[in-house]
A and B are shown apart, each in its own frame.
Chain A
Amino acid sequence: MAQMPTLIPKEVEIHRLKKIWLIIIAMGSTAASVEVDNFVDGSLHQTSIRDSAFTPAHWWLYSHFVALPLGWGAVAIYDRRVPVLRGPNNSMNTGLKMTILGYLATMFTIGINEMWHFWFVEEIFAVPNHWMFNMGVVVAFIGALAYVVRVYARLVELGAETPGENPYIAEMYKMALEGKLYSRTIP
């Protein structure tokens, strides 16, 4: 891996963090749109249990399970230019790692899911072929939250963003900046 400079000019860092922030908004909007698809998919499966793998509700669902790991992967590629976002032992940021792993799990579960549905058409939430979708998304959300808080706290630290006026929220940002919001040992 290329040697990263430990310090970059403040203005450069702000620009890079904001570019990452824009991709995060795009990823967040995509994740929010799939919340709508949960209802669309639910309406399909109440109309017909399961007609085929590629109905519009599934194009939407499956494309986001591919788009999000790729999008967060793009964040990971660009992320290397911001030294403060490095993870333990100069690796990838832990939150970002969790996000990518979580969404990759959902991506590969598409195949598992289709294989299971070859024999069974049941589409309730709790069937075993859906477990990895649900667990993957939860892991990805937890990681994304940690990463987003880190990026935002750094933007606050650099003076590019103003923390919330609510004293409780402001206290949370203060703790994040002091490294006390979550373990000090996991950067």
Chain B
Amino acid sequence: MALPKGFGSAGGATSEDVAQMIGRRIENYGGLITMAYIAAWLATFGGTAAGYFYYPWAYPTPSGHFAFIVLTLVESIGYIFCMKIAEEGSNKNSNRLMAVTMSGVAIGTVYISMFVGF
């Protein structure tokens, strides 16, 4: 954002100016990050499922599930990093949200890997 000259009522930034420049604070991105993580995980399932449902001769189901599990781990590490970086140094703590989300994803991953596509 390009600032007009002399922002703040008497020159210098007031806390209101600073808040306006920041916009949505980074520690309030938890919900968005969580939704993006779940969306990425569902897309990963869709992608690997396309492999073993439409191209079973090239992508046997266990191979697809292996890719699905590894990618879920990659996404989970990214999710933890994003949440921890977003909330460090603030009073916000979303450990419970993260625990619930990642447990759900873990259970879903195990269920899909055991019962889908065989």
Cβ contacts under 8 Å, B50 to chain A: 56, 59
Alpha-carbon distance A19/B63, docked complex (angstroms): 35
Cβ contacts under 8 Å, B23 to chain A: 15
How many interface contacts (CB-CB < 8 Å) are there between A and B? 80
Tell whether B78 is near chain A: CB-to-CB under 8 Å.
yes
Which one of B21, B25, B67, B88 lies within 8 Å of A9 (CB-CB)? B21
Cβ contacts under 8 Å, A165 to chain B: none
Cβ contacts under 8 Å, A15 to chain B: 22-23, 25-26
Residue pair A29, B78 in contact (C-beta under 8 Å): yes
Q: Which of B84-103 contact A (CB under 8 A)?
A: 85-86, 88-89
Q: With A36-B70, A56-B47 given, can you name 14 additional A-B contacts, CB distance below 8 Å?
A: A5-B2, A9-B21, A18-B85, A18-B86, A19-B26, A21-B85, A22-B26, A25-B81, A29-B74, A29-B78, A33-B71, A39-B67, A43-B63, A160-B88
Cβ contacts under 8 Å, B29 to chain A: 22
Cβ contacts under 8 Å, B21 to chain A: 8-9, 12
Residue pair A32, B74 in contact (C-beta under 8 Å): yes
Tell whether B10 is near chain A: CB-to-CB under 8 Å.
no
Cβ contacts under 8 Å, A8 to chain B: 3, 21
Q: Mark B30-74, 1 if CB is under 8 A from A, else 0.
A: 000100100000000001001100110111000100010011001
- Given A22-B33, A29-B78, A56-B51, is A36 in contact with B67 using a C-beta cutoff of 8 Å? yes
Residue pair A55, B18 in contact (C-beta under 8 Å): no
Cβ contacts under 8 Å, A160 to chain B: 88-89
Alpha-carbon distance A137/B33, docked complex (angstroms): 27
Tell whether B13 is near chain A: CB-to-CB under 8 Å.
yes
Q: Which of A16-56 contact B (CB under 8 A)?
A: 18-19, 21-22, 25-26, 28-29, 32-33, 36, 39-40, 43-44, 47-48, 55-56
Tell whether B82 is near chain A: CB-to-CB under 8 Å.
yes
